[in-house]
Chains A and B, each alone.
Chain A
């Protein structure tokens, strides 16, 4: 293995650049170094002006998502040695406006997320039964994979539907809605239905499946959307066929 590797990093400083441009940095190539370690090396030793987001460096915080060699990746979980001999292209996540260098604006997602009410909904008057809502392991297993989402936005960067239509509610928001819909303690499925079933909700998804392919936490947003399509379609059928009292 060579002992050096080149990172071709996209730079964009809005105060001086008219458009993003790639800049190359040669860094040491160490077996245990992730792409994020490479970026930290650049920041600490080569160019302190480089901007990017990161925090936990262990695949939990979801802030270091970038495009590495054309694929949306968590840079803390992507090893430089897997991209040797390089050069390794490091670009900001696709489908989001770039704020600076590798930092993107995820405001669109942050505005959409509360619309699906991603929290446990119970009636206000209801006293918690003996202080808690018990749940069986099998009931927990129903939603557990969706609770692994870390909002890293790789699924939005990979989604070709979101790329074409930014009104689309998107994979993570729908998967997070399902995380609560499928929770036995939740009573809010009907409150989430309107937002999920609108044209820019689940119906905009054409089941390309890239969201699930790139998810670093093995969440299956594509599967959750198809599952919800069936639920919503059955509700629509009921509305059409059954008299009001029987729905």
Chain B
């Protein structure tokens, strides 16, 4: 099981580190300051409405959540030395990531 959890963790780390800062830079700095001309509302809405964008965003959310789960599991089990509570920690972390993924799936795909 560990190799697959690590692959999710690893993929989530790479994607989050690449995509999230780029988005924060664009929407948080570059567009508001007018460094790059921002897309119009209709354009943005069309991009976000496209099924491919939603699947990509869902992938990002799911992988980022599993990245968090794996990291937080070790923060609790090694960092706070709660190894004896491993079962509960695993349930909380990976269960949390699964639940978060379901919510992200619902918001991005079903409830659009």
Contacts and interface: CB of A to CB of B under 8 A. Distances in A.
Interface of A: 160-161, 164, 197, 199, 203, 206, 229-230, 232-233, 235-237
Contacts of A229: 3, 6, 10
Majority SS at the chain A contact face: helix
A233 B6 contact: yes
23 contacts: A160-B78, A161-B78, A164-B78, A164-B81, A197-B3, A199-B2, A203-B3, A206-B74, A206-B78, A229-B3, A229-B6, A229-B10, A230-B10, A232-B3, A233-B3, A233-B4, A233-B6, A233-B10, A235-B3, A236-B3, A237-B3, A237-B4, A237-B7
A152 B7 CA distance: 32
A232 B4 CA distance: 10
Contacts of B74: 206
Interface in B1-48: 2-4, 6-7, 10
Given A203-B6, A233-B6, A235-B3, 13 more contacts: A161-B78, A164-B78, A164-B81, A164-B83, A197-B3, A203-B3, A229-B3, A229-B6, A229-B10, A233-B4, A233-B7, A236-B3, A237-B4
B67 to A, nearest CB: 13
Contacts of A230: 10
A176 B4 CA distance: 25
A203 to B, nearest CB: 4
Nearest to A226: B10
Interface of B: 2-4, 6-7, 10, 74, 78, 81, 83
A159 to B, nearest CB: 11
Closest 3 CB pairs of A and B: A236-B3, A233-B3, A203-B2
Central interface residue in A199, A229, A237, by most chain B CB within 10 Å: A229
A147 B78 CA distance: 30
B4 to A, nearest CB: 7
A230 B14 CA distance: 13
Central interface residue in B3, B6, B78, B83, by most chain A CB within 10 Å: B3
Contacts of B78: 160-161, 164, 206
Contacts of A164: 78, 81, 83
A192 to B, nearest CB: 16
Nearest to A208: B78
Contacts of A232: 3
B101 to A, nearest CB: 20
B104 to A, nearest CB: 24
A195 to B, nearest CB: 15
Contacts of A206: 74, 78
Nearest to B7: A233
A12 to B, nearest CB: 26
Contacts of B83: 164
B74 to A, nearest CB: 5
Nearest to B2: A203
A233 B2 CA distance: 9
Contacts of B4: 233, 236-237
Contacts of A233: 3-4, 6-7, 10
A75 B3 CA distance: 39
A23 B6 CA distance: 47
